[in-house]
Structures are given as C-alpha cells and as structure tokens.
Chain A
Amino acid sequence: MNLPPLLIEKLPSGLRVVAIQKRGLPLFHARLSLPAGACEDPRGKAGLASFTTELLRRGTKRRPARDVDDMIESMGAQLYEGASMEEAALALTVPFELAARSLDALLEVALEPLFDEAEVASARRRTVAGLQSDLDEAASVAGRAVVTLGYGAGHPYAHPGAGFRRDVETFVREDALAFHATRFQQEGALLAVVGPAEPDELLALAQEKIAQWAPSWPAHSQRAPLSFSALEPRPGLRGVIVHKADSTQSQLRIVAPGLPRNTPRFADAVVANTALGGGFTSLLVDAIRVDRGLSYSVSTRLHMNRRAGLAVFSSFTKNGTLRELADVAFEKMRGYAATGPDEDALDKARRYLAGLFPLGLESHEALAEQVADSLLDGLGLSHLTSYRQSVLAVTSEGAREMAAALSPAKDGAQIVVVGDADNALRALEGLCPLEVRKLEEFG
C-alpha cells in the first residue's frame, strides 16, 4: 500500500520533520510529538506528564490563558494536548490558509508556557476533582486498575496517564517547570504537517517555523534514561475486586503480560488477537454475546507500548452472571491458547485487518498520528506500507504460537472486577485468591 507523497527530514538536533501531502479538503494539520509521556512521570508524581501537557495552554510568556484560547479557537481549531504512555502530543487542524499562523500558535504553546502559580493551583484542583469524578465510571476504574496491576509496582508503565489524586495533590509549579525543561527538547521530538500543498512546500514552512522558534527550543535533553525491567512472571491466577457500591453490573478484566510494539511477531500477534477477541465475529464475542447473551461488549486488546505490553480481556455482565462470564472467558481463552485459530477464523482475521487498515489513514489527523507513531516507535514507514501484506502472510503456526503467548488467561494472569464486592466475592469463590481493594485507590 502506498502512502501519500511525503518527505522526512531529521535535523542535527534530532528533531524529525515529516511533511505529508493530502489532497482534497483544504485543511492543514500539525502534530508535535515530544518524548514526554506518562512513562516519564517521576516516582510519586504519577500524572505529571499529563498535568504538564494540559497546563501548556493555560498561559504562555506572550499571553494569558484566555488569549491563548482566542488565538487558537479564532482559527476554528481546537487544540489537542495530551500525554500517552510514551509521548506528549499537541495537534490542531485549521483551514490551509491559516497553516503558518497555526504552527506559530502550536509552537508558542508547546515551547513557551508560563506555568503561572495561580494557573498551576487551579489546574491541580481541577485535575483532582476530575479524577474523583472518574470513579463514578466503573469501566474507567477497571482500565486504571488493569494498567496499575498489570505492569506491577515500580514499572514505569504501572499507572494511568492521568495519575492518582494522592500524587496530583502534591504537584507544584516547580514540578511542571522541571518536567518541561527536561523533556520538551528537540531531540526525540517529531513535527508532522499534513496539507494539500506539495511536500517540499510543507517541509519548507515547517522548517521556517522551527527556525523562528529555535531560541525557545533547546536541542538536547538532560534527562536520565528510564529503567525498564522485564515484567516479572508470577505463577498462578489471582484477583482484585474493586468495590463500587450499588452497581447492578460488574466489569470484568483479565490481564496478563503481552509484547512490546516493536516485536518482530507484530503481525502474528494482531491476527491471533483479532480471531480471539478483536473483531465482531471473534471466538469470544460468539461465545459470550451471540450464543449466551451474557454481555453487550466483549473484547481482547493488546496494549503494546514501546518496551512492554499487556494482553487484556474486557467485558461486563449483570451481577448474577459474573461467574458464568468468567468461566466461559477462561474456558474459551485456554482452549484457544492450546489450538490457535482454525483456518476459517485465521483467514477471516487476516482479511479483516488488511481490508480495514486504509481506513485508519483517511483523515489528516489519523495520517499524521500513524506516520509519527511508526517513526517514533522505530518501526519505520514500512510498518504502514507493508502492513496489509504482513497480516495476509500470517501462517497458522505463527498465529498459534502467539495465541498461546498472548492469552490473557495464561499462567500469571490477574482478574480485576469493578462492582459490588460482596457479590463478586460470592461469585468468584474458589476460582483464585481474591483481594478487595477500595475504589479510591485507583482514582
């Protein structure tokens, strides 16, 4: 599969610039990725990457927050700013005639934040309130628990990106300043621009703006490298129940160690996962939703970060059928780990992934994100151009090996339930050792 015309340039600082031509709608999109993701959160400061990134727009050295909003939104743009596990990103889309203006706005926000004391305090209160409110959503709590428990204490990935209230409450201006000063350098960053002009014109525009903003943008990082140890295998099955009062439904997750995104077995892994719980006709959807009507939603997902990953089963059901859901999930996943997909399921998964892949490159935003991530993850553009061939070439043997290696139900898996604890304890009795934890622990 061909990508649209594009140019990539790596500057001496280590900053990469990608210019992509996309004809059709007269839109311009810019996305700045910086190596300042949640995995960089200092110990005891979970959520700092996200907090810092969201604070960027709350005032710059040139204008207060209100004027920053006006600068961006008067162009018809909404600025995305957020931190994933690996990187911080800022992105916006504007009519093409506003391309230069939008790049100035993006770079000003990213590179010259003020971190005003009053804004930091206000953001801290807002973030803490938001984290508490999120405890009302059982699925959100389950997601936070999965990351925290799945990677295990001490791992750089073992916390939700937004952090915990207990950490956010300690954030002060100096935390944000230090995080920004040590992680928002050019080295390791990537600026992607997408628009209807020729790639060389887009590249020239981006380079011109980078040069203009260079005085505010140090080239190199002074950060200490992170330490990533392999996920420690822990035999047996164990479970955590997070008590949520008055729930008539229980969220169930089953999580086990997975693979990092740069695994050479990437295609085998995604095909095997699709046949298990990725598509709407997967083994688990069939068994749990279609055949038994136990749940509205069933899936397995591979959380693939750069240095480690998780395999996660997700579903929910009314309290009265929690045990049945868990039993069916384990039975089907263990069976699948032993046999892998049959030929029909394998073929369906391959074609499904190959057929839908181009849809993920349709919009300006998706195109920039996919290209940026492929480069930042060290996979190269061939990851995108050869994706369809790679998944179509997955063999029965390759899928079977990955079905076993990436089963969420394999030895060492953990169960996470968010719901009424008394009900869950009764329902899951005898399945594995269970521990009840408080909702607030994950918020």
Chain B
Amino acid sequence: MPLDPKDFLVEEYELPNGLQIRLLQDRSLPVATLYSFFRVGSRNERPGITGISHLFEHMMFNGSKKYGPKEFDRRLESAGGSSNAYTSNDVTAYYEDFASDALPVVLDLEADRMASLTIDDVSLGREREVVKEERRFRTDNDIDGMMEEAMGGLAFLAHPYRWPVIGWMTDIDAITRQDCERYFRTYYAPNNCILVLVGDFDRDNALARIQGLYSAIPRGEILPAVATGEPPQKGERRAIIRYPAQAPALLFGYRAPGGHEKDALVLDLIETALSSGEGARLKRALVYEQELCVEAHAGFGWRMDPGLFEISLKLNPGTDPGRAETTLLAELSSFCERELPEKELERAKNLLRAQLLRGLATTNGRAHSIGQMEVMLGSWRAMLDLPDRYTAITAAEVQRVARKIFASHLRNVVTLVPGEAEAGPA
C-alpha cells in the first residue's frame, strides 16, 4: 500500500542561490505550515562551542534588519500564527503554523532573518541564560536527560555525536558573538536550506513571493567537512550515574547504521516489534510478565551518520538492575536466535504503516515529513514507497540485522543508581 502520488502532489523548485522549495497544497482548512530545514546540528560543532546550533536556534528569534527584537513572534501571533523550532544532532528546523492569510507575513519574517539576522551581545547574553535554564531542566535535573548525555560520551569517542545537542554548560557560557556570526554565515545560507510549505495557499502566488523574497540572498560559502571519524567499538562500555532518584534505570545503546542506510528501515521495524504498543516484546516481558520495569522503550532515530539503537528501562523501585539487565539480554538473545513469527512481523508492519499515515494527518506533519525525507533520504519521494519497503522486510532480514546490531561488543550501558537522598527538613 504505497502512498498515492495523486494525493501527494509535492512540487519542487530550486532558486539560483541553491534554496530548495517544496510546495504541497491542501485547501481543506484555512491553515498552512512553513518549515525551514537547515542542514546543521550538533554534528557540525567542535569542542569549545558545543551547543552553538541550539543556542543559535534561540538567537533566530531576536530580530533582523526589517523586524527588530521581539518582532518576529509579535508579528506572527498578530497575524494568527505561532512558531517553534528544534535542533537535533543533524538538523535545525524552524516552523510556523498559521491562518492561511498570514502567508505573506510569515514568508517575509523568515526571509528577512535568513538575509539579515541581528546578533548582538545583549540578546546573546539573555538567550545564553535561557538556554542554561533549559539545560538545567532537560538534563541536569532530569534522569532521562542525564542518562542520554552519559550515553553520548560513552558510545562515541571521536564523532560529534559525543556531546549533547544542548552543549556543555561551560561551552554555552563561552560562546561569543563572533562565533555566532561565523556560524550564521556558514550554515544559514539558502543553499543549506529546504523550505517546505504545506496547506491552504495559491501555488503561483506563493512561489512568486518566495522567489521575490529569497532570490537576493547570496549563496553561502562551502560547508566545512564534518569530522565523522569514529573508531570501531571493540568491547562493551559502561558508565554509572549516582543520583537521588526513586528507582534505578538502565540505558543501552547499540551502535547502529545511519538513517539513509538500507538496514535503517529494518531497525525501524525491530524498534516497533520490541516496544510499540502494549503487546510489544519488551513491554510484555519486562513490564507485564516479570514486573521489573515501569517503562521499557526502544528507540532508533534516523541520523546522518551511524548512531545508536537505544533501549531504555525505567525500573520499578527496589528492582535489582542486574536482574533487569539479564532479563533484557535474554529477550534480545531470543529475538536474535529465532525468526520473528509471522504474526509479530505483520503486527509491526501494520503499526509502522499506520504511524506513517497518522503522521500525515496535519499540515505540520506533512511538511515535517517532506523536509525530513529530503534531509535524511535525499528526496521527499522516498516517503511514497516507504510503506512498501516496510512491507517487503522479511523475518530473515530482521534476524540478520538484529544479530548484527545486538552484539555484546557493540553494547554501551548507562546505569542510574539511586544515591543517598539528602535528608529533608523535619
């Protein structure tokens, strides 16, 4: 069941300055979404300025030549829209959801900040403090965040995936305005951007407007190469965190291929079979049958370069982490030894296909999928036959990839051990 291209008429354009444009009309509701995907994330950083991609995401809302400080969201909200953004290891994406008649304002705001972002010491100083608060919230005081951070440092020795997207606190403090200006000139050029517009708009009008606003922005310099070298892992690695938590937790990270590699789709299916839904292998075994965990979750996010297949176990209070680990490894071993039964394979495929479809139910979801396919797989068209590619995966392929990935020498384990809690006041 491929997606019907007739229902997915994405139009493609490229401006002479390299800006890629993807348009998809849907006039069923008076709303639209605009995404600007920049091919830059924490993999483009270096020690000393870790976190600059994410800090820069914040700086993009602090004014440009035509629109002063605070004006971006003020204009947008006044026109019936809202904005947000995210930064990952590989990409920084900005989006606006808006009432369709706000399109001229939205395009003007986006083009102006790409053309002439204002970076000053005052706004940098304020955003630095906001980002530090975000780091305290998501990492320093959050168990999942602190375990993820430990996992990056454990699994990667040389690759930029080693440091957290939000950056080290000392680097966030040290990033200068000059660093930001250099970063902007290098990575926020039209030739490093994909613009995706989905929703209720007139195609000719929108395209003419984009051309008018973006064409004069000059192409950027050649992008620096990313230091992707990473020595092969030759043995299991472990880290321990002590923290006054209510219960222990375990995070396993297995070295896995990049999102564009063939086995990535098989890993999507393995992820689903292991942890999507209540009947998934890990949830059934560890949460319901053995009652060792509150949560058992497997995650494989597509990355540009080889990344990780992760399994996270939030243990029941008082549970021995060693016992939970032994049980998990036995489950993975069984997964590798025996081909996935037909019923489980079909279940996983059906869940994956349904998830794909549901992701396309909103303008934001469609725009994001188009951009993500462009960045990760080179073309939005990859989305059309993705359901068929999942359908074609065999139990033998699942077993082959599982055996390759779940090898003990490729395993990294972070264990959170509840430490002595400080005595509270009487």
Asked if A245 is at the interface (CB within 8 A of a chain B CB), the reply is yes
The B-contacting residues of A in range 51-70, CB under 8 angstroms, are 57, 65-66, 69-70
Asked if A249 is at the interface (CB within 8 A of a chain B CB), the reply is yes
Which one of B14-22, B133-141, B149-157, B329-337 contacts A? B133-141
Q: Which of B78, B316, B425 contacts A348 (CB 8 A)?
A: B78
Binding site for B on A (CB under 8 A): 23-27, 57, 65-66, 69-70, 72-79, 93-95, 122, 125-126, 129-130, 132-133, 135-138, 243, 245-249, 279-281, 286, 289-297, 316-318, 347-349, 351-352, 354-356, 358-359, 361-365, 421-422, 425, 436, 438-439
Given contacts A73-B277, A359-B362, contact A296 B134 (CB under 8 A): yes
User: Which chain A residues border B83 with CB–CB below 8 Å?
Assistant: 280
Q: Is A362 within 8 A of B317, CB to CB?
A: no
In the bound assembly, the distance between CA atoms of A422 and B426 in angstroms comes to 11
The A-contacting residues of B in range 77-136, CB under 8 angstroms, are 77-83, 97-99, 102, 125-134, 136
Q: Is A281 within 8 A of B73, CB to CB?
A: yes
Q: Which of B70, B141, B316 contacts A290 (CB 8 A)?
A: B70
User: Which chain B residues border A132 with CB–CB below 8 Å?
Assistant: 246-247, 317
Q: Which of B28, B99, B284, B350 contacts A76 (CB 8 A)?
A: B350
- Distance between B281 CB and nearest chain A CB, rounded to angstroms: 11
Which one of B187-195, B223-231, B261-269, B352-360 contacts A? B352-360
User: Which chain A residues border B424 with CB–CB below 8 Å?
Assistant: 243, 245, 421, 436, 438-439
Q: Which of B128, B130, B291 contacts A126 (CB 8 A)?
A: B291
User: Which chain B residues border A23 with CB–CB below 8 Å?
Assistant: 28
Q: Is A69 within 8 A of B314, CB to CB?
A: no
Asked if B5 is at the interface (CB within 8 A of a chain A CB), the reply is no
Q: Which of A69, A359, A363, A365 contacts B278 (CB 8 A)?
A: A69
Q: Is B245 within 8 A of A130, CB to CB?
A: no
In the bound assembly, the distance between CA atoms of A359 and B29 in angstroms comes to 8
Q: Which of B29, B82, B284, B425 contacts A279 (CB 8 A)?
A: B82
Q: Taking each of A25, A94, A129, A249, which has the highest tally of chain B beta carbons within 10 Å of its own beta carbon?
A: A129
Asked if B31 is at the interface (CB within 8 A of a chain A CB), the reply is yes
New A-B pairs, 8, CB < 8 Å, besides A125-B291, A355-B81 = A25-B361, A73-B277, A281-B77, A293-B129, A355-B102, A358-B30, A359-B29, A421-B425
Q: Is B29 within 8 A of A73, CB to CB?
A: no
User: Which chain A residues border B277 with CB–CB below 8 Å?
Assistant: 69, 72-73, 78
* 18 interchain pairs, CB-CB under 8 A: A25-B357, A74-B347, A74-B350, A76-B354, A77-B354, A78-B276, A126-B294, A126-B316, A136-B246, A246-B422, A294-B133, A317-B133, A348-B78, A351-B79, A356-B98, A359-B29, A363-B361, A421-B424
User: Which chain A residues border B346 with CB–CB below 8 Å?
Assistant: 74
Nearest-CB residue, chain A, relative to B28: A24
Q: Is B28 within 8 A of A280, CB to CB?
A: no
Q: Is A133 within 8 A of B294, CB to CB?
A: yes
- Distance between A164 CB and nearest chain B CB, rounded to angstroms: 15
In the bound assembly, the distance between CA atoms of A364 and B81 in angstroms comes to 22
In the bound assembly, the distance between CA atoms of A397 and B284 in angstroms comes to 57
Asked if B42 is at the interface (CB within 8 A of a chain A CB), the reply is no
In the bound assembly, the distance between CA atoms of A436 and B26 in angstroms comes to 54
User: Which chain A residues border B401 with CB–CB below 8 Å?
Assistant: none
In the bound assembly, the distance between CA atoms of A293 and B126 in angstroms comes to 5
Asked if B288 is at the interface (CB within 8 A of a chain A CB), the reply is yes
Q: Is B77 within 8 A of A279, CB to CB?
A: yes
Asked if B279 is at the interface (CB within 8 A of a chain A CB), the reply is yes
Given contacts A76-B353, A136-B245, contact A359 B97 (CB under 8 A): yes
Nearest-CB residue, chain A, relative to B283: A69
- Distance between B11 CB and nearest chain A CB, rounded to angstroms: 19
Given contacts A65-B288, A76-B351, A125-B291, contact A351 B279 (CB under 8 A): no
Q: Which of B97, B131, B137 contacts A316 (CB 8 A)?
A: B137
User: Which chain A residues border B347 with CB–CB below 8 Å?
Assistant: 70, 73-74
Q: Is A24 within 8 A of B7, CB to CB?
A: yes
User: Which chain A residues border B355 with CB–CB below 8 Å?
Assistant: 76
User: Which chain B residues border A365 with CB–CB below 8 Å?
Assistant: 361
Asked if B64 is at the interface (CB within 8 A of a chain A CB), the reply is no
Q: Is A69 within 8 A of B247, CB to CB?
A: no
In the bound assembly, the distance between CA atoms of A316 and B79 in angstroms comes to 29
User: Which chain A residues border B7 with CB–CB below 8 Å?
Assistant: 24
Asked if B244 is at the interface (CB within 8 A of a chain A CB), the reply is yes
- Distance between B80 CB and nearest chain A CB, rounded to angstroms: 2
User: Which chain B residues border A133 with CB–CB below 8 Å?
Assistant: 246-247, 294, 314, 316-317
